[in-house]
Amino acid sequence: MTAQGRIAADLDRSAGLHHYDLHECSQLNELKINMDLMSMISAWHLCGDNILVEQMPIFGGYSGGLEET
């Protein structure tokens, strides 16, 4: 679902998420942030929602591959 669809679904409090529900926003890694992510977080913040931002780790490089973790 696009960021605009998630924001529109959030604005309908009778059928969507409530402000006390946890709104989860996932980042791919610590260096990639796009405008969809920023627009969702700002809209949720303006509505007074609870926001959880999680980050997906990068496998490989210094941490080895999937078989070493």
Domain ranges in the chain are 3-58
Residue 40, judged by CB atoms within 10 A of its CB (0-12, 13-18, 19+), counts as buried
pLDDT by residue, tens only, the chain of 69 residues: 788 888 888 787 777 778 788 888 877 666 667 788 888 889 889 888 888 888 776 666 665 555 544
Rounded to two decimals, the pTM is 0.64
Amino acid at 58: I
Residue linked to tokens 């969702």 = 40
